[in-house]
Amino acid sequence: MDPVAPFRFAGLPVRVVFGEGTLAEVGAEVARLGRSRALVLATPGHAAAAEALAASLGAASAGFFAGAVMHTPVAVSEAAVAAYRDAEADCVVALGGGSTIGLGKAIALRTGADQVAVPTTYAGSEMTDILGETAAGRKTTRRDRAILPETVIYDVALTLSLPARLTATSGLNAMAHAVEALYAPDRNPIVTLMAGEAVAALAAALPVLAADPGDRTARGRALYGAWLGGAALGGTTMGLHHKLCHVLGGSFGLPHAETHAVILPHAVAFNAGAAKGLLAPLVAALGGPPGERILALAERIGAPRSLAELGLAERDLDRAAALATESAYANPRPVTPAALRGLLARAWAGEAPAA
């Protein structure tokens, strides 16, 4: 019997409403927060859905802002804050994936607004106090309890129309949250349990959804896994995987979920030797060497394999490796520019991951 290592566990004070048809509860959750003028946020592609949700709130609606974009540019955040103030809103409802939820966080950080997050993908960021914004080709990440949404509403019905490719990449993004929580220096037994359960749920659900996107049971399991993964990451420190993805997204404009899908098997393989015991839940869920098995899962569900597919030029690999090692961050294995250059070269070419 192994001893229990000392740990700290603060938890995350987020109210979670999970089910199918729970979108109808947005108005009640706004009222529960003591708010009466909600600005609904969305991307331009989800403007109609945002308008419909705003209309359903009746007198509690302050309208909608459908300007959220990937990587949360500071200029967009500032425009959204102006819209929030012009509408005399007192809270935001973020309807969408990580881009929209990130915009809600940016508004909250600048205004103190309460947030109701309604995720429509498996991004998981709704369960974290992390905000990443881009400006001048750099993505800056910060953590603050003011960034954390007050309420998250998960509605399985909202994920039924999620395209197959986004289902795959968003699901692997959620898995990445759980993986990094497993070897985070501030992990604890609760986080480890949540992260292991998240990986198991996603590994079981994603192949089913690749074959039958309308499978409600698998949709529910995937959304459950995304919640757990996001919550696990929300209680721990990010490592190499997230650092690389933030650099590739913020400095090179690569798409968020797709980048996570490509980098994850390589980051896991890189850290596997140094975090061997800590990754036991991942090995158990996947049934073998985690880097190899994640790559096999990604191929099975139709996720992209290479950074070249996503538009990264080979000439950018040196700069990406340098940017990812500019500042220190927690990771089970020491990180050097040369080691990262090799990792990125394999990811760029779509090769098998290596330790």
The pLDDT-based confidence of 1 (bands split at 50, 70, 90) is low
**Mean pLDDT of all residues belonging to the chain:** 94
Q: How far apart are CA 101 and CA 32, in angstroms?
A: 20
- Sequence-ordered list of residues with C-beta below 8 angstroms from that of 84, at least 6 positions apart, any chain: 39, 62, 65, 92, 107, 111, 113
Whole-number Å distance between alpha carbons of 70 and 350: 24
pLDDT of 152 over the 90 cut: yes
**Residue 37 has what DSSP assignment?**
-
pTM here is: 0.93
Percent of the chain with pLDDT over 90: 86
Label residue 274 by pLDDT band (50, 70, 90): very high
Which value, in Å, is the radius of gyration of the alpha carbons in the chain? 19
Q: What is the pLDDT of residues 296-354, one digit of tens each?
A: 999 999 999 999 999 999 999 999 999 999 888 899 999 999 999 999 999 999 999 99
Identify the DSSP state of 209.
H
Per-residue pLDDT tens digits for 177-223: 999 999 999 999 999 999 999 999 999 999 999 999 999 999 999 99
Residue 65 backbone zone (phi > 0: left; psi -120 to 50: alpha; other: beta): beta
Torsional sign, CA 297, 300, 306, 309: negative
**Dihedral in degrees, nearest 10, Cα atoms 208, 209, 213, 218:** 80
Residue 7 reports pLDDT greater than 80: no
Which CATH code for domain 164-349? 1.20.1090.10
Domain positions in the chain are 15-159, 164-349
- Fold category of 15-159 in CATH: Rossmann fold (3.40.50)
